[in-house]
């Protein structure tokens, strides 16, 4: 399976970052269809960047970082999945832990966001992850299974899961490689139970949390890891292209 590397710029970047996008597009080209790459940018930049990279369709796409769980309505300041699609997004992150924590998004809201993404013909990247306390208590698997059961819609459509231990995001810490393998296998088995083998085999199960050039090769080689969700290192073209190369092999 060709792996997927997703960059999440969060609230960073500017229109001038087009040269960054060009570097990523050129790297994606040199990887000869061995990798799919997505950069999730603030929604105000999607149109500009997606216009610029449209010749790289399918191996390099632009995504959003969030969408509203409803299609339209009186929700001042919000952006819908249809709007993201309209301006050129192909993917959207839903349920990132920063939104679950800062914006009190529940599994049900994340589930509904994923459904509106499907309706808009976007591929949702549905994020799950345990806190450090839950990790220490040894209940990571239980937490992740519950989040998957309640956040993932019943569907045959294409989506991705971002497994992001909250304590690994932006901290430089990561779980042991065998722990990542065990959680990814649990996610795979849980999805298989919910959606069947055919749908589950199309799901990209991404690891996220302090992925760097220095650990990317090791993470890429873990069983059931189909790619990476990259925050901080996606803001640096050299770091991000090294991660892309690691996941393309």
Judged by the rule CB under 6 A, the positions of this chain that interact with ligand PEP are 8, 164, 169-170, 208-211, 229-233
* Gap between the Cα atoms of 38 and 25, Å rounded: 10
Catalytic residue among 98, 105, 164, 184: 164
Distance of closest approach, residue 197 Cβ to ligand PEP, in angstroms:
28
Task: Pick between residue 64 and residue 208 the one whose CB is nearest to ligand PEP.
Answer: 208
Distance of closest approach, residue 207 Cβ to ligand PEP, in angstroms:
9
- Exposed, middle or buried: residue 42 (CB in 10 Å: 0-12, 13-18, 19+)? middle
Q: Which residues make Cβ contacts (< 8 Å) with residue 172, sequence separation at least 6?
A: 210
* Gap between the Cα atoms of 216 and 244, Å rounded: 9
Task: Pick between residue 170 and residue 196 the one whose CB is nearest to ligand PEP.
Answer: 170
Cα 248 to the center of its chain, rounded Å: 17
Q: Tell me if residue 96 is catalytic.
A: yes
Task: Pick between residue 53 and residue 219 the one whose CB is nearest to ligand PEP.
Answer: 219
Task: Pick between residue 9 and residue 195 the one whose CB is nearest to ligand PEP.
Answer: 9
β-sheet bridge partners, residue 5 = 37, 228
Distance of closest approach, residue 170 Cβ to ligand PEP, in angstroms:
4
Q: Tell me if residue 164 is catalytic.
A: yes
Contact between residue 126 and residue 110 where contact means Cβ atoms under 8 Å apart: yes
Residue 55 CB: number of other CB atoms within 10 A? 8
Q: Give me the residue whose beta carbon is nearest to ligand PEP.
A: 231
Catalytic residue among 68, 96, 111, 184: 96
Distance of closest approach, residue 136 Cβ to ligand PEP, in angstroms:
19
Residues with a catalytic annotation lie at 96, 164
């Amino acid at each position: 399976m060709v792996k997927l590397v997703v960059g999440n710029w969060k609230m960073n970047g500017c229109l001038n970052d087009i040269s960054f996008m060009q570097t990523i597009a050129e790297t994606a080209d040199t990887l000869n269809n061995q990798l799919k790459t997505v950069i999730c940018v603030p929604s105000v930049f999607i149109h500009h960047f997606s216009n610029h990279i449209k010749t790289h369709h399918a191996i390099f796409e632009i995504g959003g970082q969030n969408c509203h769980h409803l299609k339209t309505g009186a929700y001042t300041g919000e952006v819908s999945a249809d709007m993201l699609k309209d301006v050129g997004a192909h993917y959207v992150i839903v349920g990132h832990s920063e939104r679950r924590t800062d914006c009190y998004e529940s599994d049900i809201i994340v589930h509904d966001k994923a459904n509106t993404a499907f309706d808009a013909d976007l591929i949702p990247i549905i994020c799950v992850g345990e806190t450090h306390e839950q990790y220490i208590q040894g209940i990571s698997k239980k937490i992740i299974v519950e989040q998957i059961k309640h956040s993932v819609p019943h569907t045959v459509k294409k989506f991705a899961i971002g497994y992001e231990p909250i304590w690994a995001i932006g901290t430089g810490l990561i779980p042991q490689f065998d722990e990542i393998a065990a959680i990814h296998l649990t996610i795979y088995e849980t999805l298989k139970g919910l959606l069947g083998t055919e749908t589950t085999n199309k799901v990209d199960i991404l690891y996220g949390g302090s992925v760097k050039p220095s650990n990317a090769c090791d993470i890429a080689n873990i069983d059931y890891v189909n790619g990476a969700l990259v925050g901080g290192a996606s803001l640096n073209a050299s770091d991000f292209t090294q991660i892309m190369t690691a996941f393309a092999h």
